[in-house]
């Protein structure tokens, strides 16, 4: 079973019931059987954005600890590829977390992604492949 990429906005929406996409994200994630994969940059962004919601950053880390959010990415091994992606999409612009997710798509051969970020409609994995946006 191919993994599904997990972006910051979906993590935030899952943990913050007041977020307008909360119900849609919960519904999609609940229906998935595939592993959820992400990168440390996404985890850091989510913890930062959820810092004002009591217990939410800890819940993010607990999901990593329990393997619910898997983090197979190593920045030190991918710096060159990440730099190329950030330069290619400089006009968007692409941040580090997005570049890591695009690289993960290449690495894991999957374009299925849980994201609320419209930039993934512009980004391509394997240079030409569109992402499959699982949250609408």
pLDDT of residue 83: 97
Give 18-42 pLDDT, tens digit per residue.
999 999 999 999 999 999 999 999 9
Do 70 and 6 contact (CB within 8 A), yes or no? no
User: What residue spans of the chain are helical by DSSP H?
Assistant: 8-15, 22-31, 40-49, 56-65, 75-88, 96-108
Q: How confident is the model at residue 97 (pLDDT cuts 50, 70, 90)?
A: very high
Q: In whole angstroms, how large is the CA radius of gyration of the chain? A: 14
What are the tens digits of pLDDT across the range 57-89? 999 999 999 999 999 999 999 999 999 999 999
The model carries a pTM of 0.96
The residue-averaged pLDDT of 110-133 equals 96
Q: Domains (ranges, CATH) in the chain?
A: 4-131 (3.40.50.1010)
pLDDT of residue 17: 95
């Amino acid at each position: 079973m191919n993994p599904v990429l997990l972006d910051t906005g979906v993590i935030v929406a899952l943990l913050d019931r007041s977020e307008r996409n909360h119900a849609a994200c919960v519904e999609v994630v609940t229906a998935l059987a595939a592993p959820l994969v992400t990168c440390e940059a996404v985890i850091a962004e989510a913890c930062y954005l959820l810092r004002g919601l009591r217990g939410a950053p800890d819940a993010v880390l607990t999901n990593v600890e329990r393997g619910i959010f898997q983090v197979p990415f190593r920045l030190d091994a991918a710096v060159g590829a990440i730099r190329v992606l950030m330069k290619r999409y400089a006009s968007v612009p692409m941040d580090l977390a997005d570049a890591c997710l695009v690289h993960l798509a290449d690495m894991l051969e999957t374009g299925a992604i849980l994201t609320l970020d419209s930039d993934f409609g512009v980004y391509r994995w394997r240079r030409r492949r569109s992402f499959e946006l699982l949250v609408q």
